[in-house]
Amino acid sequence: MVEIATYLVFAMLSVALILALVRLIKGPMLPNRVVALELIASLVVGFIAAYSIHTGVDDFIDVAIVMALLAFMAAVGFARYLEKGGPRDD
């Protein structure tokens, strides 16, 4: 049962990644792209979790920790950059 669920989750997350990529390309401004990047990070964390169940290797959780940490740092950095007046129309 879990096996089928992981395959389904892989499929769902792949579609979600493509949709997030659409938003990343369309923009229209830097903040919207940051939103897409944040979403992609969440999706990758979910992917890692599903993959860890699929392969039965629990060490992938550490990768998820690092991924979540990096995504948060990136969001904070982008927000600072925007407020300090970097170019927004890219």
Partner 1 sequence: MTEWLLEGLTALMLLLGGGLMLIAAIGAVRLPDLPTRLHATTKAGALGAALTIAAVALHFACISVTARAAAVIVFIVLTAPVAAHLIGRAGYFVGVPLWEGTVKDELRDRYDPESHVLRSGLTKQAAESGGKQRGRDA
Q: Least Å distance between CB 15 and partner 1?
A: 6
Q: Least Å distance between CB 1 and partner 1?
A: 5
Can you give the binding site for partner 1, defined by CB under 8 A? 1-2, 4-6, 8-9, 12-13, 15-17, 19-20, 22-23, 29, 31-32, 34-36, 38-39, 42-43, 45-46, 49-50, 52-53, 58, 61-62, 64-65, 68-69, 71-72, 75-76, 78-80, 82-83, 88
Q: Least Å distance between CB 74 and partner 1?
A: 9
Between the alpha carbon of residue 45 and those of residues 38, 53, 63, 65, 77, the distances in Å are: 11, 13, 8, 8, 20
CB 63 within 8 A of CB 49: no
Q: What is the DSSP string of 9-31?
A: HHHHHHHHHHHHHHHHHH-SSHH
